[in-house]
Amino acid sequence: MFADYSWSELTAIFAMQGFAGLILFSVFVLMALGLAIIFGQMGVINMAHGEFMILGAYVTYLVSIFFAEALPALFPAYFFIAMILAFIAAGALGMFVEWAMIRHLYKRPLDTLLATWGLSLILQQVYRSVFGAREVGVTIPDWMMGSLPLTDMIEIPINGIFVMVLAIGISVGVYVMMYRSRWGQQVRAINQNRVMAGAVGINTEWTDRMTYGIGCGIAGVAGSAFTMIGSTGPTAGQLYIVDTFLVVVFGGAASLLGTIASAFTISQAQSIMEFFLSGSMAKVLTLLVVIGILMLRPQGLFALKLRK
């Protein structure tokens, strides 16, 4: 397959392919972090995760229109404001949903699956009614499109770098909150024993609400970032949900490190196989490998050590 190419061409392609894998990794991390927090720390299976992402995308769309109309001079920078607003909007909706629906279902975790699936259908129809059934086009500032030529042959997409930086930033932020803050300690305490945590004076209700809100907020930021690489439409959230669950389950539900390791494994496997095989075949093989490993290690790559 490579006989006809010179060394420099091959090096360039492999370098770019390496970046493609890293970009896919960052995308997976962004998609999965929010879900991992909610699923891992609260045991709630949030089927509406994709719709929270799309809420972030629609917020970005609205902000882009506002800046284009009212503040065209600041248009190149609108994306940062859009991401902050996306976090707030998705987080606020998440907290409301937790208050209205999820908290009544903590004792019946499987029912959260049905309830949040219903929520995802409701949200899709709301988007369709408000924004129309068609996809909306989000105009990305010029500086974020295009590519960065490293050498004559190696070109790196700028939006890919942006997604990578964002993924690293959010991962570090989540790590600090989870393992270095009082709130994180409380979340983990509730996760281990809800009744006991309540008994020692932790406000479990408020902590749950915050956790769910932050998980959804991160989904909103991810959705906002994905307007650069994907579509924004009422059902676009469905495009991400399968991969997201795959990453979280494969990584081991309760472990953030596991989520990152699993995102890395799956993205690299998929990106390398896509290069050598056809796209559909790569997907099939990736899924087969994941199923195989989960049969051997049902708890996922990383799991908390629990006393049984």
Partner 1 sequence: MSDFDKSRKNNGVSRRALLAGGVALSASLFAPKVLRAQDYPTAEVNTTGLAVTDDTVTIGILHSVTGTMAISETGSVQAEKLAIEQINAQGGILGRKIEYIQEDGASDWPTFAEKAKKLLVNDKVASVMGCWTSASRKAVLPVFEQYNGFLYYPTFYEGLEESPNVIYTGQEATQQIIAGLDWVNKEKGAKSFYLLGSDYIWPRTSNKIARKHIENFLTDCKVVGEEYYPLGHTQFNSVINKIRLKKPDVIYAIVVGGSNVAFYKQLKAAGIDMTKESPLLLTISVTEDEIRGIGGENIEGAYACMKYFQSLDNDNNREFVAAFKEMWGDDMVIGDVTQAAYLGPWLWKAAVEKAGSFDVDKVRAASPGIELTSAPEGYVKVHENHHLWSKTRVGRAQADGQYEVVFETADLVEPNPFPEGYQ
Site residues for partner 1 per CB under 8 A: 5, 9, 13, 16-17, 19-20, 23-24, 27, 125, 128, 132-140, 145-147, 149, 155, 157-160, 226, 228-236, 238-240, 270-271, 274-275, 278-280, 283
Please, which residue, 31 or 210, has the CB nearer to partner 1? 31
d(CA 227, CA 229) in angstroms, rounded, equals: 6
* Least distance in angstroms from the C-beta of 119 to partner 1: 16
* Least distance in angstroms from the C-beta of 234 to partner 1: 8
Q: Can you list the positions of beta strands (E) in the chain?
A: 147-149, 155-157
d(CA 263, CA 173) in angstroms, rounded, equals: 18
* Least distance in angstroms from the C-beta of 288 to partner 1: 14
Please, which residue, 123 or 136, has the CB nearer to partner 1? 136
d(CA 123, CA 174) in angstroms, rounded, equals: 26
DSSP state for residue 135 in the 8-state scheme: P
* Least distance in angstroms from the C-beta of 265 to partner 1: 16
Please, which residue, 24 or 55, has the CB nearer to partner 1? 24
Question: Which residues make Cβ contacts (< 8 Å) with residue 171, sequence separation at least 6?
Answer: 29, 33, 256, 260
Q: For residues 16-37, b (16+ Cβ closer than 10 Å) or e, as one string?
A: beebbbbbbbbbbbbbbbbbbb
* Least distance in angstroms from the C-beta of 79 to partner 1: 14
d(CA 153, CA 147) in angstroms, rounded, equals: 12
Please, which residue, 125 or 193, has the CB nearer to partner 1? 125
Please, which residue, 247 or 254, has the CB nearer to partner 1? 247
